[in-house]
Amino acid sequence: MNSTITVFINGLSVKLQKTMTLTDYLEGKGLLGRTIAVAVNGQVLRKAEYESVKLNEGDHLEIVRPVGGG
């Protein structure tokens, strides 16, 4: 049985080996604890919500980091 799912992160198709929480995904990418903003399916999330969000087939994520400059 194929348990991979496809999600879209910043417009790119990404295959994940399993359904996981947003916290698990961000931790695996070294982004947990960094200053980022995350939206799932158009809904901007608070950090306190990351653990309760499960990534599912077809979800659309936007992950952005602030960039300083002048």
Instruction: Report pLDDT for 18.
Output: 84
Q: Where are the domains of the chain?
A: 5-64
Confidence of residue 69 (pLDDT cuts 50, 70, 90): confident
Confidence of residue 1 (pLDDT cuts 50, 70, 90): low
CATH 3.40.50.300 fits 5-64, yes or no: no
**What does the pLDDT look like over 3-57, one tens digit per residue?**
899 999 999 999 999 889 999 999 999 999 899 999 999 999 999 999 999 999 9
Instruction: Report pLDDT for 60.
Output: 98
Long-range contacts, 6-12 (Cβ 8 Å, 24+): 6/57, 6/58, 7/55, 7/56, 7/57, 7/58, 7/59, 7/60, 7/61, 8/58, 8/59, 8/60, 8/61, 9/61, 9/62, 9/63, 10/61, 10/62, 10/63
pTM for the complete prediction? 0.87
Cα–Cα distance for residue pair 44/70, rounded to 1 Å: 26
